[in-house]
Chains A and B, each alone.
Chain A
């Protein structure tokens, strides 16, 4: 049985990609051993592949541009941006160059670039090192945004993404997931994967068996931690929750393929990290309303972080971030 942590899985994916393809380069700040990156994701890799792990100055914009240039010329660079908050510094390169080239040059130019970054709070890093800002990139044409949860196999997915994607991918890792064990069906939560047309599977997680759910919760990435915790706590309460966790955040397809897993007969909650406005969740809720109009038993509920900065103090931070208590409350309310 798989007892890998999220961090180990990501590292295994990186290592696997570097091992199977010499065109894969890691680029980012402080990646070299013995430090091995701010979150230790690249630990050991610079020792094993000394020529292909490039540690850089604090130049997120240039790193992204450089990697874009490398990708154009046939390499498969993987950039680590130390904190997701720093994506603002790469935005021009990502929005105006890397994603534009394949589209405006009509795939004559390929940009197999993977930009990895740890996102989210929960560790007391404070307002500029704890945000969830992936929503800013969800409407960028030509950009694939992926954020696997604890219910996925992030390493295998990352390896495949690095080796196979031909267009830029923003790969979001929630830092709250790093020390956690991946969900493997070994505890009271049942789990299975549904493969989709885009190669990024949907994980289905249930805290019951043998009947229909009372509530469906749709979430991704870091929200999987409070979701699974709330699902465990609701088992003795007999409240049956089905969690749907896409690994890719697609809001450009009108009806995401995994909507086939939804009937609309149960109340639906969309839960995510990041401030509440203009998010993946709001887009999913809108599409659910379009797709299931007239069949929904209740309006789609939405949960997210508070509309505030993420405070450093642990107690304050907990008040701002989506947590299991809020989820439990919303789940119970939705069927009452």
Chain B
């Protein structure tokens, strides 16, 4: 039993019209006999029997057919159930394909990139796909970080790979006696699969809830500090969802008496917080920042290196300090203010104001059209 298939139709056509049988159904044909024709846009093509046998048609005149499609079954004996015969033929063809695990091209690329061999995946299905490899990579990364040091708080770092924030936070975590970095969540997929100081960048925050559920992670901290609005809203959202945050305080930071620190803050090396200073939530304080006694910090502020405030300075929310700034005692700085590098603040700064450095610094409102002029 063999099938008689539609011939190759030429390069211009993917399809043809079947012109009907030249011999009656059920008649006996011989190999080489012209039994039908198919018509393309360019030509009429002959269909010849390839074997001797009784012709059992599968298509009728006018049908649209594609190359390789069975047109009829040729068999030594009459067939009762044509569909069953056809199924048997196709099963026979399939049986000739040896069984093996199919690895998709994407999975193969990822395996090569992460140095994984097929056996490690313990594949129990016939297809290894991207999802299987990605899951293995994440699992392995997390496992490797946890090995043997399970009593330390396991911290996930959010964002900041491109800007370097993640690196300085991880650098601090690596010197910590109570915490360890486990992974970095990064939206920008360019970084996926890479590492920061040996800590794997595993992908977006979608993986976070699963990791918390499986108790692979204890807390997170945000490492990016460019967009303070986004830093604030992300903190708010995740806290609302019950995601635990932690402070990352460098071992060499100096926090004096009666200093209180909220949650989700990053405080790097050589930071000095004078007695009685209160730090809110989600602030990012770079190395060598000096905040004297009694300073009051709100939330989601960012300090570049070398910001010096005198005593009793009040700082609102989402204030950005660039680098190398001096603030006189008792000054109040409003929400969303931006203080340029090299500024010396001698008077209060209203909310949403940009202070530029210079002898007669001009503070320009960013949120309103109001223009303020400041001596600094």
Residue of A nearest to B112 (CB): A336
- Return B131 CB to nearest CB of chain A, in Å: 9
User: Per DSSP, are chain A's interface residues mostly helix, strand or loop, or mixed?
Assistant: loop
- Assess A238 versus B189: contact at CB under 8 Å? Given A123-B12, A314-B11: no
Tell me the complex Cα distance, A179–B10, Å.
12
Tell me the complex Cα distance, A277–B170, Å.
48
Q: Are the CB atoms of A265 and B105 closer together than 8 Å?
A: no
A332 at interface, CB cutoff 8 A = yes
Q: Are the CB atoms of A238 and B190 closer together than 8 Å?
A: no
- Return A58 CB to nearest CB of chain B, in Å: 24
Q: Are the CB atoms of A179 and B106 closer together than 8 Å?
A: no
- Assess A265 versus B104: contact at CB under 8 Å? Given A123-B12, A336-B112: no
- A residues in contact with B113, CB < 8 Å: 336
- Assess A238 versus B11: contact at CB under 8 Å? Given A212-B189, A336-B112: no
Other-chain residue from B11, B14, B105, B129 in contact with A234 (beta carbon distance below 8 A): B105
A283 at interface, CB cutoff 8 A = no
Other-chain residue from B11, B14, B189 in contact with A123 (beta carbon distance below 8 A): B11
0/1 string, A234-245, CB within 8 A of B gives 1? 101111000000
Residue of A nearest to B127 (CB): A236
0/1 string, A171-196, CB within 8 A of B gives 1? 00000000110000000000000000
Other-chain residue from A179, A237, A314 in contact with B104 (beta carbon distance below 8 A): A237
Other-chain residue from A122, A124, A180, A239 in contact with B105 (beta carbon distance below 8 A): A239
0/1 string, B11-43, CB within 8 A of A gives 1? 111100000000000000000000000000100
Interface residues of A in 195-233 (CB under 8 A from B): 212, 214
Number of interface residues of B (CB under 8 A): 17
- A residues in contact with B107, CB < 8 Å: 238
- B residues in contact with A314, CB < 8 Å: 11
Q: Are the CB atoms of B12 and A237 closer together than 8 Å?
A: no
Other-chain residue from A122, A124, A332 in contact with B109 (beta carbon distance below 8 A): A332
- B residues in contact with A336, CB < 8 Å: 109, 112-113
A297 at interface, CB cutoff 8 A = yes
B130 at interface, CB cutoff 8 A = yes
Q: Are the CB atoms of B188 and A332 closer together than 8 Å?
A: no
Tell me the complex Cα distance, A333–B87, Å.
39
Other-chain residue from B14, B130, B188 in contact with A238 (beta carbon distance below 8 A): B130
Q: Are the CB atoms of B13 and A238 closer together than 8 Å?
A: no
Tell me the complex Cα distance, A124–B10, Å.
11
A62 at interface, CB cutoff 8 A = no
- A residues in contact with B12, CB < 8 Å: 123, 179
Tell me the complex Cα distance, A236–B106, Å.
9
- B residues in contact with A238, CB < 8 Å: 104-107, 129-130
Tell me the complex Cα distance, A123–B14, Å.
14
Residue of A nearest to B40 (CB): A179
- Return A335 CB to nearest CB of chain B, in Å: 6
Q: Are the CB atoms of B11 and A265 closer together than 8 Å?
A: no
Q: Are the CB atoms of A237 and B106 closer together than 8 Å?
A: yes
Q: Are the CB atoms of A332 and B105 closer together than 8 Å?
A: yes
- A residues in contact with B188, CB < 8 Å: 265
Q: Are the CB atoms of A122 and B11 closer together than 8 Å?
A: yes
Other-chain residue from B109, B130, B189 in contact with A265 (beta carbon distance below 8 A): B189
Q: Are the CB atoms of B11 and A239 closer together than 8 Å?
A: no
Q: Are the CB atoms of A179 and B129 closer together than 8 Å?
A: no
Q: Are the CB atoms of B106 and A239 closer together than 8 Å?
A: yes
- Return A187 CB to nearest CB of chain B, in Å: 13
- Assess A236 versus B11: contact at CB under 8 Å? Given A212-B189, A265-B188, A265-B190: no
Interface residues of A in 317-336 (CB under 8 A from B): 332, 335-336
Tell me the complex Cα distance, A234–B105, Å.
8
New contact pairs (16) apart from A265-B190, A335-B109, CB-CB < 8 Å: A123-B12, A179-B14, A179-B41, A180-B14, A212-B189, A234-B105, A236-B104, A237-B106, A238-B106, A238-B129, A238-B130, A239-B105, A239-B106, A332-B109, A336-B109, A336-B112
11 A-B Cβ contacts within 8 A? A122-B11, A123-B11, A179-B12, A179-B14, A212-B189, A214-B106, A237-B104, A238-B105, A239-B106, A265-B190, A336-B113
Binding site for B on A (CB under 8 A): 122-124, 179-180, 212, 214, 234, 236-239, 265, 297, 314, 332, 335-336
